[in-house]
Chains A and B, each alone.
Chain A
Amino acid sequence: MSDISYEVIVGLEIHVQLCTKTKMFCSCELSFGQEANARVCPVCLGLPGALPVMNRQAVEYAMLAAMALNCEVSPFTKWDRKSYYYPDLPKNYQISQYDLPLGSHGYIEIPLEDGQTKRVRILRVHLEEDAGKNLHTAGNFSQVDLNRAGTPLLEIVTEPDMNSPSQVRALAVELQRIVRYLGVSEGDMQKGHMRFEPNINLAIKRPDGEFRTPIAEVKNLNSFRALERSIAYEVQRQLDEFLETGVTLQMGNKSTRGWNDVDEVTVLQREKEEAHDYRYFPDPDLVPVTTTPQWLEEIRSRLCELPLARQTRYVTEYGLSDYDAGVLTAERPTADFFERALAAGGEPKRVCNLLTQVGLKMAREEGVDLAALGLEPAGVADLAKMADAGTVSATAANTILESMVATGKAPTALAQELNLIQTSDAGELEGIVDQVLAENVQAVQDVVTGSKKSKKARGFLLGQVIQKTKGQANPKVVSEILDRKLK
């Protein structure tokens, strides 16, 4: 076994549901959890005579996503019919894009565990309509719910550039962050907004040669966990199978597998890749789309800095920890809020601490975005400045921020009201220090002799001064006075 090594090869196909107001080709609103067949019309029911009309917003969302994924956006694209019979597909063809996808030849940067990033190539990005759902809840018949039929889906296909389950997960998570950032999808996994289909095989090296295992495609995964686990399972299964049978990749021996979430195993669905003939041809009911330079420019102006780039910048430019930078950039409104507070003069680390220790915690408790707490970025910046200037202590600043959320008042007013302004007047504090030193001779002795109790004793004296001022003494100023007197 020691003379064998292998590399995992994974490519990923992702379907992302766009958060447009209406469906891809009709004016029905998107739905989730509605009564079956409540959000349908002649178009998405595929009734005789009904015709599709392209949803421009969906195309723009797709263009935006394609740009964010560094794709070339096709100047000319069209709609094609993909034919197959299935009860959840009312026209028995799906309107999709075949040979001229909206975007192609892109890439996505994904974070690796060692802090580096990796570039995964994007083969294509195209738009299509979703199917409905077959329900098998009763007796010897099935029912079809077409609420989902016609929902705009973005299909993203990567090159097989990923080499571990964790890399695939990282890509999926990063993609979720991107589509949310762009505002083109809610990316809600629970609602099935993102579905994954990884293609997995192994490149095996042995003294007798190099081998490729047959590719397995795992269908319809809708959680990051299932995605990562199913790939890990496949890696082991394919390795075992190769060692046992020696089977290698050949034309037509790609298999399709499903994921059993309970037993955490992949299950064979189709042994051989079926020779599907989808009979693609251009949909004569829809006119081709020309993406003019002006239109592209307008969409490009809506692009924003992507989450990973932003996170990296927070570390290098502001000196934040990678963890804090990740927390602040997880949601775009949070990062935007953070940057507005910096623009108002807040010091990055201080603002970061206020937001991560108090702001985001409160937002989570309220179940809202940070930006929806009613805080003004300028107010947070003012508070950060007060803390930096020693006007209030770091602890007091957190208390003030909580009150700002509760009352909407300015930080200076709250500091006064809550009696949290620190005394930094050296003259006033000097008297109190003298008093404390006189009352604690033993501690003074410990500090001055430099005994092993020295550090503890100094802390004790500092604490006494703070206590005497009811917590309003600026520890920094007190510390300086102590240093001077105990030399």
Chain B
Amino acid sequence: MSSRNLTAVELREAIASRRIRSVEAVQETFAQIDRLEPTVGAFISLFRDQAMARAQDVDRRIAAGEPVGALAGVPVAVKDVLCTSFGATTCGSRILEQFHAPYDATAICKLLNADAVIVGKTNMDEFAMGSSTENSGLCKTVNPWAPDRVPGGSSGGSAAAVAARLCPVALGSDTGGSIRQPASFCGVVGLKPTYGRVSRYGLVAYGSSLDQIGPFGRTVADAALMLNVIAGHDRADSTSVDETVAPVDDYLDGIDEPVEVLRIGVAPAFNAGADESVRAAIDAALDLYRNAGAQIVEIEMPHLDYAIAAYYVIATAEASSNLARYDGVHYGYRTPDPADYVEVYSKSREEALGQEVKRRIMLGTYALSSGYYDAYYLKALKVRNLIRGDFVKAFETCDAIVMPVAPTTAFRIGEKVDDPLKMYLGDIYTISANLAGIPGISVPCGLDENNLPIGLQVLTPAFSEARLLRIARMYEAATDWHTKKPAMVQ
């Protein structure tokens, strides 16, 4: 029995019932990595020996009848934006290439406590700034469906790793679509939980009020399993939500039960900006829901047109401050021969930060500058409130909103690198969920004329992940798009 075609839910059951040993699963994982990683380039670092040792330990404990965690023996990849006390934590940046964190992020601790086997850390756009993973300062990741195309970003490494069956599940982070968009491009499931659902402690910050950690898997159930492990309040993150206010559910429990009374909201005018093939796939998905008994209602989202502008002010403002600490003084890259301490700052940053990161730091610094604050940052916050209001109003008439994840399927490597604005416009469907703080999921819903995956996005109100997952599962259960594989995996 090969573990490679099993989902995480199936694999953990096979390991727990000793039909497959974790050691075998991990060996197969690394065999697959050896075979495909030279082409895919999903990982920045791999932990072969450590993973094997952990797998042996899990097998031993299962054999001894000891209790094990929810991900016991399952290989997992994590985006290199999460601090780990083992290996480097680079954020895809040369400035942190040699940075070894002295602590584990809360999400990492939770994975380890669940007895997951972390096999490696995945590539990403530098400091999660990008939509194609082309902004990585360290390595190049391609889309397993078409190696001349981008995997999406910024969590491109995690999405590509799951799509290429290098591991069944992975963690990413989503600030403006960085989980959902690469999931869509790579034909896997990607979930961005509600802001505050998963602790950000140890997640290297890009836009702190928008960042959220979430899972990738090949199925909705795998995303639910991962969310079960990482969700919950954390005293170390003041913005993680008190569970007395928003209890954490067992997201796997009842996931196969269809939602009986379901009203799905659609904003046709807003969706019209997507490519023909994308629109067709979304329309087909809506038909499917309608046939399953759902009511489709039209909603108005009048302020979503301003979402990109507001997002790129707020995210970059926060980033300009969050990234100020990478200065060559305390850790990370330091310019070899500074004339004075000011040069330690300016040259270290000049030499080790990439173009896109510099661009966003400049944008954010400008937006926060005295005299511009009100016109940019403050106005963006007001727009953000209006967008929140749009969702509140929409959710009065519907239970979930369906829209594309991205206006296109995966584009060619290099196609947009010289046109940052064009790249930013690709985030149109994903960033409003971050601005509103609500959960969103991307589920495979078709292949375009170039055999490239299309993603269906479902959004629900804050902290309703259980319902979101059930609605997504309704679609998945009725289709077989999630079983499609890229050619390189056949």
Which residues of A have CB within 8 Å of B236?
51, 53
Stretch at the interface among A88-96, A160-168, A215-223, A436-444: A88-96
B96 touches A281 (CB 8 A): no
Contact check, B238 vs A285: say whether CB atoms are below 8 A apart.
yes
B325–A281 CB distance below 8 A: no
Which residues on the A side are within 8 Å of B327 (C-beta)? 85, 92
Interface residues of B in 367-392 (CB under 8 A from A): 368-370, 373, 377
B99, B239, B321, B365: the one contacting A48 at CB < 8 Å is B99
Q: How far is the CA of A349 from the CA of B130 in the complex (A)?
A: 78
Q: Which one of B91, B202, B239, B318 lies within 8 Å of A287 (CB-CB)?
A: B239
Q: Which residues of A contact B373 (CB under 8 A)?
A: 279, 281
A111 CB-CB contact with B under 8 Å: no
Report which residue of A49, A52, A85 has the largest number of chain B beta carbons within 10 angstroms of its beta carbon: A49
The docked-state distance in angstroms from the alpha carbon of A413 to that of B368 is 75
Known: A91-B325, A279-B365, A281-B368. A49 touches B205 (CB 8 A): yes
Q: Give the CA-CA distance A242 to B430 in the complex, in Å.
A: 64
CB distance from B438 to the nearest CB of A (A): 17
Asked if A390 is at the interface of the complex by the 8 Å CB criterion, the answer is no
Tell which of B101-109, B398-406, B465-473 binds the partner.
B101-109
Within 8 A of B (CB), among A246-286: 277, 279-281, 284-286
* Interface 1/0 per residue, A63-88 and B, CB below 8 Å: 00000000000000000010101010
Cβ distance B451 to chain A, nearest Cβ, rounded Å:
38
Residue in A51, A52, A87, A285 whose beta carbon sits within 8 Å of that of B329 in the complex: A87
> Please, what's the 1-or-0 string for A139-159, where 1 marks a CB less than 8 Å from any CB in chain B?
000101000000000000000
Chain A residues, CB < 8 A from B321 = 81, 83, 93, 279, 281
Interface positions of B from 204 to 225, Cβ below 8 Å from A:
204-205, 207-209
Report the minimum CB–CB distance from B21 to chain A (whole Å): 34
- What CA separation (Å) do A81 and B329 show in the bound complex? 20
Closest approach, in angstroms, between the C-beta of A67 and any C-beta of chain B? 25
Q: A91-B324, A279-B368, A279-B369 are in contact. Are A50 and B201 (CB under 8 A)?
A: yes
Q: Which of A53, A83, A284 contacts B324 (CB 8 A)?
A: A83
Q: Mark B420-460, 1 if CB is under 8 A from A, else 0.
A: 00000000000000000000000000000000000000000
Annotate A23-62 by CB proximity to B: 1 below 8 A, 0 otherwise. Answer: 0000000000000000000100111111111100000000
User: Within 8 Å of chain A (Cβ to Cβ): is B330?
Assistant: yes
Partner of A281, one of B99, B203, B239, B377: B377
B83 at interface by CB-CB < 8 Å: yes
* Chain B 69-104 near chain A by CB (<8 Å), digits 1 or 0: 000000000000011000001010000100101110
How far is it, in angstroms, between the C-alpha of A364 and the C-alpha of B245 when the chains are bound? Answer: 55
Interface range for A:
20 to 34
A48/B238 contact (C-beta < 8 A), A87-B341, A91-B324 known? no
Query: How many residues of chain B are within 8 Å of chain A by beta carbon?
Result: 43
List residues 225-248 of chain B with CB under 8 A from any CB of chain A: 235-239
Instruction: Give the docked Cα–Cα distance between A52 and B200 (Å).
Output: 11
Question: What CA separation (Å) do A20 and B187 show in the bound complex?
Answer: 53
The residue of chain B having its C-beta at the shortest distance from the C-beta of A281 within the complex is B368
Assuming the A-B contacts A87-B341, A279-B321, A281-B317, are A47 and B102 also in contact, with contact meaning beta carbons closer than 8 angstroms in the complex? yes
Contact (Cβ within 8 A) A49 B208? no
User: B47 contacts the other chain (Cβ, under 8 Å)?
Assistant: no
Q: How far does the Cβ of A145 sit from chain B's closest Cβ, in whole Å?
A: 12
Once the chains bind, are B238 and A284 in contact (CB under 8 Å)? no
Q: Is B395 an interface residue (CB 8 A)?
A: no
CB-CB < 8 A to B368: which residues of A? 83, 279-281
The smallest C-beta distance from A22 to any residue of chain B, in angstroms, reads 13
**Interface: B306 (CB within 8 A):** no
CB of B101 within 8 A of CB of A49, answer yes
Answer whether residue B270 sits at the interface, using C-beta atoms and an 8 A cutoff: no
**Whole-angstrom distance from the CB of B117 to the nearest CB of chain A?**
22
Is A51 a contact of B103 with CB atoms below 8 Å? no
Q: A90-B330, A144-B330, A281-B377 are in contact. Are A46 and B237 (CB under 8 A)?
A: no
C-alpha gap A92/B345 in the complex (Å): 11
Residues of B within 8 A of A47 (CB): 83, 101-103, 331
With contact pairs A54-B238, A279-B321 given, residues A48 and B102 touching in the complex (Cβ less than 8 Å): no
Q: Please indicate the chain A residues that have their CB under 8 angstroms from the CB of B83 in the complex.
A: 47-49
Return B353 CB to nearest CB of chain A, in Å.
14
**Would you give the shortest CB distance from A351 to chain B, in whole angstroms?**
49
Q: Is A277 a contact partner of B325 (Cβ separation < 8 A)?
A: no
Kindly identify which residue among A51, A90, A144 contacts B325, using a CB–CB cutoff of 8 Å: A90
* CB of B436 to closest CB in A, whole Å: 15
- Which residue from chain B places its CB closest to the CB of A42 in the assembled complex? B103
Residue on A nearest B329 in the bound complex, by CB: A87
Contact B239 A49 (CB under 8 A): no
Beta-carbon contacts under 8 Å, B312-367 to A: 317-318, 320-321, 324-327, 329-331, 341, 345, 365
B103 neighbours in A (Cβ, 8 Å): 42, 47, 50
Residues from chain A with a CB closer than 8 A to the CB of B96 are 48
User: Considering the chains assembled together, what is the distance between the CA atoms of A48 and B205 in angstroms?
Assistant: 7
Rounded to whole Å, the gap between the CB of B204 and the closest CB of chain A is 4
**Bitwise interface map of A from 328 to 339 toward B, beta carbon under 8 Å scored 1, else 0:** 000000000000
Q: Which residue of A lies closest to B370 (CB)?
A: A277
Once bound together, how far apart are the Cα atoms of A164 and B102, in whole Å?
53
- Name the CB-closest residue of B to A277: B370
Q: Is A46 within 8 A of B238, CB to CB?
A: no
Give chain B residues whose Cβ lies under 8 Å from the Cβ of A286.
238
A87 CA / B99 CA spacing, docked (Å): 18
Query: Which residue of chain A has the shortest Cβ distance to B346 in the bound complex?
Result: A85
- A92 and B318: CB pair below 8 A? no
Centre residue among A90, A91, A284 by max chain B CB count within 10 A: A284
Say whether, besides A47-B101, A48-B91, A52-B238, A279 and B370 are in contact (CB < 8 Å).
yes
CA distance A316 to B424 in the complex (A): 74
Contacts A91-B324, A91-B325, A286-B238 given; does A51 touch B201 at CB 8 Å = yes
* C-alpha spacing A144/B328, complex, angstroms: 13
Residues of B within 8 A of A52 (CB): 238
A279 contact set on B, CB distance < 8 A: 320-321, 365, 368-370, 373
- B370 contacts A284, C-beta separation under 8 Å: no
Q: Tell which of B82, B207, B341 touches A142, judged by Cβ atoms closer than 8 Å.
A: B341
Within 8 A of B (CB), among A87-132: 87, 90-93
The answer for the CA separation of A52 and B236 in the assembled complex, in Å, is 7
**Nearest-neighbor residue (CB-CB) of A48 within chain B:** B204
With contacts A51-B238, A285-B238, A286-B238 taken as known, whether A85 is within 8 angstroms of B89 at the C-beta atoms is no
By a CB distance below 8 angstroms, the chain A residues around B326 are 48
8 Å CB contact of A144 from B317, B318, B329, B365: B329
| 10 A-B pairs (CB sep. < 8 Å) | A48-B205, A48-B325, A51-B200, A53-B238, A85-B345, A92-B325, A279-B320, A279-B369, A284-B208, A286-B238
Give me the interface of A with B, judged by CB distance under 8 Å: 42, 45-54, 81, 83, 85, 87, 90-93, 142, 144, 277, 279-281, 284-287
* 7 A-B pairs closest in CB distance: A92-B324, A284-B209, A284-B208, A279-B368, A48-B204, A49-B202, A49-B83
